[in-house]
Amino acid sequence: MAFASLKKYEHTFIVVAALTIALLNTLPFFSGIFTASDSASNPFFNTGFILRRSLWQFGHAFVSMLLFIYFNYKWAPYLTPARLSKYIRLILLILYNLALLYALLWATVAFAEYTVGNPFGMRYGFFFYLWKYVLLHPLGVLIAYALKMIVRSKIIEIENYRLKEENLSIQLKTLQDQVNPHFLFNTLNTLSSVIRLGSKEEGLKFVDDLSNVYRYILDTDMARLTKVRSELKFLESYRYMLEKRFGKNLILKTDISQEVKESLIPPMVFQLLLENAIKHNQISQTTPLLISIVNDNNYIIFSNNINYKPDVGNKLGLGIPNLMKRYELMAAREVIIQQKNSQFIIKLPLIHP
């Protein structure tokens, strides 16, 4: 798609460049119209003659420029194979241009003779158009070379962007895959406990929520961003699973405005932050874990009280750096991490669609 668009614009550039140069080339001829007269016997002061000559000069310059530019930009590479040395290719290119110039020069003189005429004869007409081509031909070659440089840089830019996109997708997939094994281990352990200790209905409810959670994981597996609304809906199923793991010792409160629910965040963010808080803090009747998810200005604020496990402490582990990397890759915005008043706070920047 990008390359097709580039091709379209390169042809437009060539035509516009040829038209501009042809117009500038014709202005000296056309300027005589202001002092001309319909009745003048001298053709160079006759309005009709000047108009015909101006139109001829414009058309001739336009077609000539198109030939010069297209030949050097499009056709010459086929006549100078890349397998040849650059010096041989340069010599061939010069010879081809001289041949084109010579053939076009005689064709122009002959065509002018049978249309608008050569006022001073074909010999003088030959030298007139020769000097004209001395000016036009280098311009055509220069435009073709400049266009090659522009298109080459754009192609490199597009290719680099494509490779960056592919690399980005690979990195995001790798980062997402780091979450799933840890999540699966915890949920299967909880499911085992529910089946052994709970009722049949609780076990079925847990399996249903587990199914919803994994359906969401599969649906967002290749997604870079998802709506906050979808994440909160996923969180409801995940909340039930957490309650089965920790009972009333884990308290989760959410307060997100309707407007913010339409914003975007990376998928599985809440699950990652919840697991990170659970991993690093003690959870018991005497030390319950209080988690809050609210929005403030242009952020979603995830916070939990601190009661670190002795063997884990306040190390970030892989989860938070993982999240920070995902935001860096997708939104070029930073996740803010704070710790104050016995609270661990993470501010997630909202990404607006």
Q: Residue 114's pLDDT is what? A: 75
Q: Residue 313's pLDDT is what? A: 57
Least confident of 94-108, 119-133, 312-326: 312-326
The answer on pLDDT for 298 being more than 50 is: yes
Distance from CA of residue 203 to its chain's centroid? 47
pLDDT tens digits, one per residue of 264-295: 888 878 888 888 888 888 888 888 999 999 99
- Element (H or E) spanning 36, and its range? none
The residues, any chain, with a CB within 8 Å of residue 302's CB and separated by 6 or more, are 270, 273, 291, 292, 293, 345, 346, 347, 348
Least confident of 42-56, 226-240, 295-309: 42-56
> Across all residues in the chain, what is the average pLDDT?
78
Phi, psi of 114 (to 5 degrees): -100, 5
More confident call, 342 vs 30: 342
Domain boundaries, the chain: 2-167, 178-349
The answer on pLDDT for 228 being more than 70 is: yes
CB-neighbour burial class of residue 318 (10 A; exposed 0-12, middle 13-18, buried 19+): middle
pLDDT band for position 191 (50/70/90)?
Answer: confident
With the C-alpha atoms ordered 163, 165, 169, 171, is the resulting torsion angle positive or negative?
A: positive
Average pLDDT over residues 100-127: 78
3-state SS assignment for residue 120: coil
pLDDT band for position 256 (50/70/90)?
Answer: very high
Domain range 178-349, its CATH number among 3.90.1150.10, 3.40.50.2300, 3.60.21.10, 3.30.565.10: 3.30.565.10
Q: Residue 45's pLDDT is what? A: 65
More confident call, 178 vs 238: 238
Q: Residue 135's pLDDT is what? A: 82
Phi, psi of 81 (to 5 degrees): -55, 145
More confident call, 45 vs 266: 266
Q: Residue 3's pLDDT is what? A: 47
Distance from CA of residue 258 to its chain's centroid? 31
Question: What is the percent of the chain with per-residue pLDDT over 70, rounded to a whole number?
Answer: 76
